[in-house]
Amino acid sequence: MRHAHGRARRAGAVLAAVLTWAGLLAGAAGCTADGTTPIDSVFGKGSAPKDVIRVTPEDGSKEVSPDRRLRVRIPDGRLESVKVVKSQDAQETPVPGRISADGLTWQPAEDRLALAAEYTVDAVAVDGHGRRSARHAVFTTKVPGRRFVGYVTPENRAVVGTGMIVSVEFNREITHRAAVERAIEVKAEPPVEIRAHWFGDSRVDFRPEHYWKPGTRVTVALRLRDVEGAPGVYGLQSRTFSFTVGRSQVSLVDAAAHTMEVRRDGELLATVPITAGAPKTTTYNGKMVVMEMLEVTRMNGATVGFRKKDGKSEYDIPDVPHAMRLTDSGTFLHGNYWAEGVFGEENVSHGCVGLRDVKGGGADTPAGWFFDRSLVGDIVEVVNSKDKTVAPDNGLGGWNMGWKQWKAGSALR
């Protein structure tokens, strides 16, 4: 399941002059296609903190009982921060809670979880040596009876980039796709033609032929209540929400030139040296959309099978700064503080796009500068990589599909 969650929305002032980071950037270790980096090249053998932050229910859990207790724990050190957000019908609500006096546990103010909701947990801890570690987890709770719900991207009242695609992920397979598609209405002001495309039986995306125009207001009506999505399975939701399209920002990553050109409303803001995927672990070509933005996150290769011969994780970075997810499979554009000498010079990552940063994340670094001027929904396009074009259902990659083919994926054609 694609997790659309934890989205920070950052927009900075437009720079008055073109910025060039040449000569400022140095160093990156490899980053896998799931957003991870070889641990030995990051910290040196055996020096990385362990996975100390434990979240229950576990990351990726589905149909969690509302009686299940939500807890964040560490065995030692202290929890620095815990942020929990509940999402229902595209509406995000902070979950109040507190960290215990000894700093080892966080628990919510109310023990009972909401039904038919998605919970996102972002926790940061500090161990006895002052090393920070982050954890990002998502789980969904039980949907009552023979009902289905759709988890929607983006959420209500969001301000997004011009590449945002409205995506609805269902908790059950939908066999009556035409009936469900007919019950979801997406309109724009000023008006533009918007069409649906199904990816399998549990996801439908909506977009116009071209990127949204800045200032567009998009309204999504979910009229799914009592709509039969599969034999004997009926919709639960009846809700209307909206979001606004902000300024246009398109960033062009040239994997061969090791640069990223950042354009705001068509004007060049900066040319930033980067590192992309190494020859054996190349970065996808094509148009990708920023799906979520994390000030700091953990990246662990074991989650996608990158393990050493002894079974240990091949990649594990506990505090990657300024991480922006581009695909479901784990391609990130993120800050890097752990190596030198490659930005603008060579490609050494395992699929991600890396920008120079400092430990803890620096506001005046290339990664911090870009993060602070980005929105969920911004476009990052990669060219000249020796890899295939990213699949249209890998993240919000639908812009890589032609309009005719896109329309052919509607159940109402």
- Per-residue pLDDT tens over the stretch 90-101: 788 999 999 999
Q: How far apart are CA 299 and CA 293, in angstroms?
A: 14
Dist. CA 399–CA 336, nearest whole Å? 28
Same-domain check for residues 185 and 116:
no
Query: Is 105 a domain residue?
Result: yes
My answer on whether 238 and 252 are in the same domain is no
286 and 391 share one domain: yes
Look at the block and give the residue holding tokens 């908790």. Answer: 171
**Any idea how long the chain is?**
413
235 lies in the same domain as 351: no
CB 252 within 8 A of CB 379: no
Mean pLDDT over 309-318 rounds to: 78
- Asked whether residue 252 is domain-assigned, the answer is yes
Domain end point (choices 73, 105, 140):
140
Q: pLDDT tens digits, residue range 19-53? A: 334 333 333 333 543 433 333 333 233 333 456 89
Q: Is 334 one of the catalytic residues?
A: yes
Residues 129 and 234 in one domain: no
**Which CATH number is 82's domain given?**
2.60.40.3780
Tell me if 295 is assigned to some domain: yes
User: CATH number, domain at 241?
Assistant: 2.60.40.3710
Q: Is 40 exposed, middle or buried (0-12, 13-18, 19+ CB in 10 A)?
A: middle
Judge whether 115 and 141 are in contact, CB under 8 Å.
Answer: yes
273 and 260, same domain (yes or no): yes
Q: Is residue 413 part of a domain?
A: no
Instruction: List pLDDT tens digits, range 226-285.
Output: 999 999 999 999 999 999 999 999 999 999 999 999 999 999 999 999 999 999 889 999
Q: Please check whether residues 235 and 262 belong to one and the same domain.
A: no
Residue with more model confidence, 83 or 6: 83
pLDDT at 161 over 50: yes
| 352 among known catalytic residues | yes
Split at pLDDT 50, 70, 90, the class of 304 is low
Q: Residue 38 belongs to a domain with what CATH number? A: 2.40.440.10
Tell me if 86 is assigned to some domain: yes
Q: Is there a contact between 187 and 159 (Cβ–Cβ < 8 Å)?
A: no
Structure tokens of 307? 């393990």
Q: Any idea what DSSP says for residue 218? A: E
Is residue 70 within 8 Å of 116, Cβ to Cβ?
A: no
133 and 160 together in one domain? no
| Same domain, yes or no: 211 and 253 | no
**Would residue 164 count as lying in a domain?**
yes
Domains: count for the chain: 3
Domain boundary among 140, 156, 176: 140
Give the residue numbers spanning the domain of 118. Answer: 54-140
Give the active site residue among 3, 5, 136, 334: 334
| pTM of structure | 0.80
Task: Give yes or no: residues 85 and 135 share one domain.
Answer: yes
* Residues 43 and 339: beta-carbon distance below 8 Å: no
| b/e code 372-411 from CB counts within 10 Å (16+ = b) | ebbbbbbbbbbeebebeebbbbbbbbbbbbeeeebbebbb
262 and 350 in a common domain = yes
> Domain ends where: 105, 120, 140?
140
Assess whether 227 and 212 both reside in one domain. Answer: yes
The reply to whether 319 falls in a domain is yes
* Residue 11 belongs to a domain: no
At residue 188, the pLDDT reads: 98
CB 73 within 8 A of CB 57: no
Per-residue pLDDT for 84 more than 80?
yes
Q: Are 379 and 287 in contact (CB under 8 A)?
A: yes
